[in-house]
Amino acid sequence: MTEFPKLDAALQLSLTGRVALVTGAASGIGRAIALAFAQAGAAVLINHLGRAAEAEALVVQIQSLGGRAVALEADVTRADQIARMLEPMSQPFGAVDLLVNNAGIIAEKPLLQTSEEDWDRMLAVDLKSVFLVSRAVLPAMIAQGHGVIINIASDLGYLGRENFTAYCAAKAGVMGLTRAMAREFAPAIRVNAIAPGPIHTAMVSPETMSAASLAQELDSPQRRIAEPEEIAATALFLASDLSRFYCGQVLGPNGGSVMP
């Protein structure tokens, strides 16, 4: 292993020379992570589903800052679409060595009203996609002998929350999958997760949550909803060499909602 970088230089959290794929990056936390990675020097593949205008606008923003990015559409619940997204001709920057499994959905529904279709959809987008995209990206990481995978879980994966059972189950699954993958692919590939608390995105809004659930989101010592950039900061750390002793960990930028 190479020398641990000197902290003065490392504090720049440079990702120069890295190629990152961020799923669900047209909005919210994924967008903030893609922007932060690009500003740290990575070339970024911006995955989206049906959000070409937002994804292309992000590409333009990154290019205007001197960075490199391309938007790639794929439904991350579909292995065929993931394979197409990762075809060599779609990858102008070369093989992915930094993957953020961020795409996700949420739904508030009492368990007794949750249909099998509801359950399967939630588990497909929030858990199966992490397996599918990782499985597609890992062979290139293994071939080049290094790689970083960051999975976006949720504090609700620890806490549980009434009327969000499928979401909580999927996010707890993401943490288990993270730990198993971390063991299976160490030391060459580092797999870790982030379990955010509430963040200002479309996911935490009156369109997706009842007033009672939104109020519950403030039930933490900091009593606030954070910004997507606060999660991007944690992702930047996990992506960089500063975190190279982190393996199978779940970091919790959550205002204290969970203190494991």
Ligand X SMILES: NC(=O)c1ccc[n+]([C@@H]2O[C@H](COP(=O)([O-])OP(=O)(O)OC[C@H]3O[C@@H](n4cnc5c(N)ncnc54)[C@H](O)[C@@H]3O)[C@@H](O)[C@H]2O)c1
Residues classed as catalytic: 167
Out of 15, 42, 104, 178, the residue judged to bind ligand X by CB under 6 A: 104
Q: Judged by CB under 6 A, does residue 199 bind ligand X?
A: yes
Q: Is the peptide bond before 253 cis (omega within 30 degrees of 0)?
A: no
Out of 173, 196, 252, 255, the residue judged to bind ligand X by CB under 6 A: 196
Separation of alpha carbons 87 and 82, rounded Å = 9
Binding segment toward ligand X, per CB under 6 A, in 9-17, 25-33, 110-118, 175-183: 25-33
Residue 42 CA: distances (Å) to CA of 9, 55, 69, 124, 152: 17, 17, 9, 28, 19
Q: Judged by CB under 6 A, does residue 77 bind ligand X?
A: yes
Question: Which of positions 121-150 make contact with ligand X (CB under 6 A)?
Answer: 125
Binding segment toward ligand X, per CB under 6 A, in 5-13, 73-81, 86-94, 110-118: 73-81
Q: Which residue(s) pair with 91 in the sheet?
A: none
Burial class of 84 by CB neighbour count within 10 A (0 to 12, 13 to 18, 19+): middle
Phi-psi category of residue 28: left, alpha or beta, with phi > 0 → left and psi -120 to 50 → alpha: left
Contact assessment for residue 79 and residue 181, using Cβ atoms and an 8 Å cutoff: no
**Residue count, binding to ligand X (CB under 6 A):** 28
Q: What is the CB neighbour count within 10 angstroms for residue 146?
A: 13
Binding segment toward ligand X, per CB under 6 A, in 7-15, 102-110, 132-140, 177-185: 102-110
> Quick one: 15 or 33, whose CB is closer to ligand X?
33
Out of 138, 148, 152, 250, the residue judged to bind ligand X by CB under 6 A: 152
Burial class of 210 by CB neighbour count within 10 A (0 to 12, 13 to 18, 19+): exposed
Q: Judged by CB under 6 A, does residue 235 bind ligand X?
A: no
Q: Tell me the CB-side half-sphere exposure of residue 244, using CA atoms within 13 A.
A: 14
Out of 13, 67, 75, 130, the residue judged to bind ligand X by CB under 6 A: 75
CB of 94 to ligand X, least distance (A): 22
Separation of alpha carbons 115 and 129, rounded Å = 20
Out of 15, 34, 45, 51, the residue judged to bind ligand X by CB under 6 A: 51
Q: Judged by CB under 6 A, does residue 29 bind ligand X?
A: yes
Q: Judged by CB under 6 A, does residue 105 bind ligand X?
A: yes
Q: Judged by CB under 6 A, does residue 49 bind ligand X?
A: yes
Q: Judged by CB under 6 A, does residue 198 bind ligand X?
A: yes
DSSP assignment, residue 254?
S
DSSP assignment, residue 77?
T
Give the interface with ligand X as residue ranges (CB under 6 A).
23-24, 26-30, 47, 49, 51, 75-77, 102-106, 125, 152, 154, 196, 198-199, 201-204
